[in-house]
C-alpha cells in the first residue's frame, strides 16, 4: 500500500524533480518505508512514489517499477490478489522478473496487452503507467473504488495523485474551492464522484481507466460495471446451492487477502460481516487472529464491544479493545486534512483512532466493508421495499400523527426511525431514499444563503445517481437501492473513510466482501435471499450459520456511528458553540448564520437531534479556516503527523 503522484506536461517544459518530490512527500503517511522518482528521458512525464512495504520487503520491489528495458514505468497503490497466477503465465511466455512483488506483474502484463491489461487485475488499486515508446500515460482505478486516484488538469499539464493534498505542493497548480460542490456536501455529507471540492480536480471513477497522449488527447472508459439483472431476468436458484456459492466465494476472497510479508489482523465490530471474516480467518491461519474493536463512552446505543468480545472468545483471537470519549473531537482538524476537505461521516473519528492503535501491532487488517451494500444489510433497504407497498394516503396519515410526537434525543431510537420513515412517504422512491440519508434535503434552501445560491447552477438533489438511472430501470426496488449504494455511498463515503483513516496511520485495509467474483455472484441472486421481511443478509447468515454465535445472528444492525447528539449536549457543547456561533465564522459567506444558530439552539434544548448536521457544519468551518494554509503550500503542521 502506497502513495502515488506525477505529472504529464503539455507545454514543452520538462517535468521537474523537485516538484514531483514535493507532491510525493505530501503522501509520507501512505508510504513511510521508502520513496522513488522517475523522470522520462524526453522530459514530458514524472512519477513519484511513497512505499508501505507489504509484499516482498526487499529493495527489488521498490517503485517506480520498470520492465526489462525501462520503457514502461509504473507507480501503483494497492494489492493484486491474483498476481501469482498472472506471473506464472508471464514467466512461461519469456518475461524476466527481478522481484516477488505484485507491481512487477502489472508492468509485464502491460507490455503484452497495453491498457487492456487492467481488466485482468483482481484487487484494489490506483495506478499510473508511463509508456515511453508511445508517449502515453495510463491511469486506472479498481472496480469498487477501494483505492483513490485524483486528476488535476490545466492547459500546461495533467497531474495525478492518491490524495489531493499532493496538488497543494505543486507551483504550477492553483487550487481553489468549487462553490458548486457545497450544496452536494450538505445533502450527502460528501461530494459525489467524479466531482471534488476543488476546481479542475476530478476523481477517476471506480472501474475506469484513462489514457492521456503527450499532446493532451484523453480517453476515459469503464472496463467494469456492476449490473443487477432486470426483475424479469433474475434466475431461480436452489437455496442450498446459493448458500454454498456464497460461502465458497467468501472463503476464497478471505484467503486471497491473507497474503502478506508483514503482521496481519482484522477489525472486529461484533456485527455479522466482521464476525464471518474473523471466523474464516481463524480457520485458515495457523496462529490466533489479531482482532481490534472500539467502543464509545457516554451512550450504550453506540457501543458494540460486548459483541466483539463474544466473537473474540468464540474464535480465541488475540483481541484488543479501545474506547472513545468526546475528547476524540480533537481529531477534527486532522481528519479534515487527511480527507482533503470536510467529510460528513462522523464515524471517521473511531475509524481513525482504531486504525492508529491497530498500527502499533499489525500493518494489514481485513474488514467487513461492503457486506451491507452487497447483502442488503441496512434497514433503509427494508424501508425502501416496504414504502413501495404502503398506500400514499396511509403514509400521509401516519406522518401527520407521528409529527405531533417529540423527536427522540437518540436518532437510533425506534420512534426516531419510524418518524424518519413516514416523513418521506409522499416522495417518489429515489427522492425518498435520498432524503432518508441526507443531512439537509428540503431544508437545504434554508441553510444556503440566497446570495450564494444565485451564483450557482441548478441543484439536483439526485445528482449522485444521475448517471445510473438507465442501469436501475427495470430492476426491483431492492436492486435499485443496492445499485445506488454501491455506486455512490460505498465508494464516496465508506471507502473514502476507510482509506484515509487507515492510510493516515500507514495501515493497509483489505475488504473481502468487495471481491469481484463475490460481488457479481451476489448481485444476480433473487431479492428474497438478501432481504426477507426485516431479516437482512439472509443467504449470508445461512451460509455461515455454523460460524455465527446465536446472539450475533439475532442482533439487529447497529452501524459504526458516534453519539454526536449526546456529546454535543455535554462535553463538546462549548466547542461546538464557539466554532459555529463565532461572529467571524467563515461559513457565513455561503450559509445562513441565523439558520445555523437555530440548529444549535434546538439541538441543545433537546427539541431536535441535529448531531450529524452539526458535525458536517463543524468540518466545513474547520476546512475553510485551514484552507489558506494549505494553498500557500505550507508544510503539514507537525501536530497532524502525530
Query: Across residues 247-256, what is the average pLDDT?
Result: 98
pLDDT bracket for residue 330 (50, 70, 90): confident
Query: Across residues 505-525, what is the average pLDDT?
Result: 98
Q: Say how many C-beta atoms besides its own lie within 10 A of residue 393's C-beta.
A: 9
pLDDT bracket for residue 641 (50, 70, 90): very low
SS (H, E, C) 395-412: HHHHHHHHCCCCCCCCCC
pLDDT bracket for residue 295 (50, 70, 90): confident
Does residue 127 register a pLDDT over 70? yes
Does residue 164 register a pLDDT over 80? yes
Does residue 412 register a pLDDT over 70? no
Q: Say how many C-beta atoms besides its own lie within 10 A of residue 129's C-beta.
A: 26
Q: How would you class 590 by CB atoms within 10 Å of its CB: exposed for 0-12, middle for 13-18, buried for 19 or more? A: buried
pLDDT, residue 358, reads 95
- Rounded (5°) CA angle 275-2-26: 120
pTM of the predicted model, to two decimals? Answer: 0.94
Least confident of 140-144, 198-202, 350-354: 350-354
Mean confidence (pLDDT) of the chain: 92
Query: Across residues 601-629, what is the average pLDDT?
Result: 94
Encode burial over 29-54: b for 16+ CB neighbours within 10 A, e otherwise. bbbeeebbbbbbeeebbbbbbbbbbb
The owner of cell 474473523 is: 278
Give 627's contacts (C-beta < 8 A, 6+ positions apart). Answer: 177
Share of the chain above pLDDT 70, in %: 93
pLDDT, residue 410, reads 59
Query: Across residues 123-147, what is the average pLDDT?
Result: 98
Does residue 640 register a pLDDT over 80? no
Encode pLDDT of 303-316 as tens digits. Answer: 778 889 999 999 99
Query: Across residues 415-423, what is the average pLDDT?
Result: 71
**DSSP element (H, E) containing 508:** strand 508-510
Q: Are 54 and 102 in contact (CB under 8 A)?
A: no
> CA 107, 111, 116, 117: dihedral to nearest 10 degrees?
-40
CATH 3.60.20.10 intervals, the chain = 2-222
The owner of cell 455561503 is: 590
Encode pLDDT of 47-70 as tens digits. Answer: 999 999 999 899 998 999 999 999
DSSP line for 574-597:
HHHHHHHS-TT-GGGGTB-HHHHH
CATH 3.40.50.620 intervals, the chain = 231-375+484-554
Does residue 508 register a pLDDT over 90? yes
Least confident of 192-201, 374-383, 439-448: 374-383
Query: Across residues 276-291, what is the average pLDDT?
Result: 97
Query: Across residues 414-423, what is the average pLDDT?
Result: 70
**Which CATH number describes the domain made up of 2-222?**
3.60.20.10
Q: How far apart are CA 59 and CA 571, in angstroms?
A: 49
pLDDT bracket for residue 394 (50, 70, 90): confident
pLDDT bracket for residue 635 (50, 70, 90): very low
Does residue 637 register a pLDDT over 50? no
The owner of cell 471513477 is: 205
* CATH 3.40.50.620 applies to domain 231-375+484-554: yes
Encode pLDDT of 529-564 as tens digits. Answer: 999 988 999 999 999 999 999 988 877 665 556 788
pLDDT, residue 354, reads 92
Does residue 630 register a pLDDT over 60? yes
pLDDT bracket for residue 451 (50, 70, 90): very high
Amino acid at each position: 500500500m502506497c502513495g502515488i503522484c506525477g505529472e504529464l506536461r503539455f507545454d514543452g517544459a520538462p517535468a521537474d524533480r523537485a516538484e514531483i518530490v514535493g507532491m510525493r512527500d505530501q503522501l509520507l503517511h501512505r508510504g513511510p518505508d521508502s520513496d522513488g522518482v522517475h523522470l522520462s528521458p524526453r522530459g514530458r512525464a514524472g512519477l513519484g512514489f511513497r512505499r508501505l512495504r507489504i509484499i516482498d520487503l526487499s529493495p527489488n520491489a521498490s517503485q517506480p517499477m520498470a520492465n526489462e528495458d525501462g520503457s514502461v514505468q509504473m507507480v501503483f497503490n494497492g494489492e493484486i490478489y491474483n498476481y501469482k497466477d498472472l506471473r506464472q503465465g508471464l514467466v512461461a511466455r519469456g518475461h524476466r522478473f527481478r522481484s516477488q512483488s505484485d507491481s512487477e506483474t502489472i508492468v509485464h502484463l502491460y507490455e503484452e496487452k497495453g491498457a487492456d491489461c487492467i481488466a485482468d487485475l483482481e484487487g484494489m488499486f490506483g495506478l499510473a503507467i508511463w509508456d515511453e515508446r508511445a508517449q502515453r500515460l495510463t491511469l486506472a482505478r479498481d472496480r469498487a473504488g477501494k483505492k483513490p486516484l485524483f486528476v488535476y488538469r490545466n492547459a500546461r499539464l495533467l497531474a495525478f495523485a492518491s490524495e489531493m493534498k499532493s496538488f497543494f505542493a505543486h507551483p504550477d497548480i492553483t487550487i481553489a474551492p468549487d462553490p458548486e460542490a457545497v450544496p452536494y456536501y450538505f445533502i450527502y455529507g460528501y461530494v459525489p464522484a467524479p466531482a471534488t471540492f476543488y476546481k479542475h480536480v476530478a476523481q477517476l471513477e471506480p472501474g475506469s481507466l484513462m489514457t492521456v497522449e503527450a499532446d493532451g488527447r484523453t480517453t476515459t472508459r469503464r472496463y467494469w460495471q456492476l449490473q443487477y439483472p432486470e426483475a424479469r431476468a433474475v434466475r431461480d436458484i436452489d437455496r442450498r446451492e446459493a448458500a454454498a456459492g456464497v460461502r465458497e466465494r467468501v472463503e476464497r476472497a478471505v484467503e486471497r487477502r491473507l497474503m502478506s510479508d508483514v503482521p496481519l489482523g482484522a477489525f472486529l465490530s461484533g456485527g455479522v460481516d466482521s464476525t464471518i471474516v474473523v471466523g474464516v480467518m481463524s480457520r485458515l491461519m495457523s496462529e490466533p487472529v489479531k482482532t481490534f474493536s472500539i467502543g464509545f463512552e457516554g451512550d450504550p446505543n453506540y457501543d458494540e464491544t460486548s459483541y466483539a468480545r463474544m466473537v473474540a472468545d468464540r474464535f480465541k483471537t488475540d483481541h484488543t479493545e479501545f474506547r472513545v470519549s468526546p475528547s476524540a473531537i480533537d481529531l477534527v482538524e486532522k481528519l479534515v486534512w487527511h480527507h482533503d476537505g470536510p467529510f460528513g461521516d462522523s464515524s471517521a473519528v473511531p475509524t481513525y483512532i482504531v486504525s492508529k492503535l491497530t498500527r502499533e501491532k499489525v500493518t494489514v487488517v481485513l474488514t467487513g466493508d461492503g457486506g451491507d451494500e452487497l447483502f442488503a444489510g441496512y434497514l433503509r433497504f427494508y424501508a425502501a421495499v416496504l414504502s413501495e407497498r404502503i398506500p400514499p394516503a396511509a403514509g400521509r396519515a401516519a406522518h401527520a400523527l407521528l409529527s405531533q410526537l417529540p423527536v427522540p434525543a437518540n436518532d437510533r431510537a425506534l420512534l426516531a426511525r419510524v418518524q424518519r420513515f413516514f416523513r418521506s412517504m409522499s416522495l417518489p422512491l429515489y427522492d425518498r431514499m435520498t432524503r432518508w440519508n441526507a443531512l439537509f434535503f428540503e431544508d437545504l434552501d434554508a441553510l444556503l444563503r440566497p446570495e450564494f445560491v444565485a451564483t450557482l447552477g441548478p441543484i439536483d438533489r439526485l445528482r449522485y445517481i444521475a448517471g445510473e438511472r438507465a442501469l436501475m430501470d427495470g430492476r426491483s426496488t431492492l436492486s435499485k437501492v443496492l445499485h445506488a449504494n454501491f455506486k455512490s455511498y460505498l465508494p464516496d463515503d465508506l471507502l473514502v473513510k476507510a482509506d484515509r483513516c487507515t492510510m493516515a496511520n500507514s495501515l493497509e485495509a483489505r475488504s473481502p466482501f468487495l471481491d469481484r467474483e463475490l460481488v457479481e455472484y451476489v448481485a444476480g441472486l433473487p431479492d428474497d435471499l438478501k432481504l426477507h421481511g426485516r431479516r437482512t443478509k439472509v443467504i449470508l447468515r445461512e451460509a455461515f450459520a455454523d460460524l455465527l454465535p446465536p446472539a450475533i445472528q439475532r442482533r439487529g444492525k447497529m452501524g459504526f456511528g458516534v453519539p454526536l447528539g449526546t456529546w454535543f449536549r455535554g462535553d463538546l457543547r462549548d466547542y461546538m458553540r464557539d466554532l459555529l456561533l463565532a461572529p467571524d465564522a467563515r461559513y457565513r459567506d455561503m450559509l445562513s448564520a441565523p439558520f445555523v444558530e437555530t440548529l444549535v439552539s434546538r439541538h441543545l434544548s433537546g427539541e431536535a437531534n441535529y448531531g450529524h448536521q452539526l458535525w458536517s457544519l463543524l468540518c466545513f468551518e474547520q476546512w475553510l479556516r485551514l484552507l489558506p494554509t494549505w494553498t500557500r503550500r505550507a508544510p503539514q503542521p507537525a501536530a497532524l503527523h502525530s
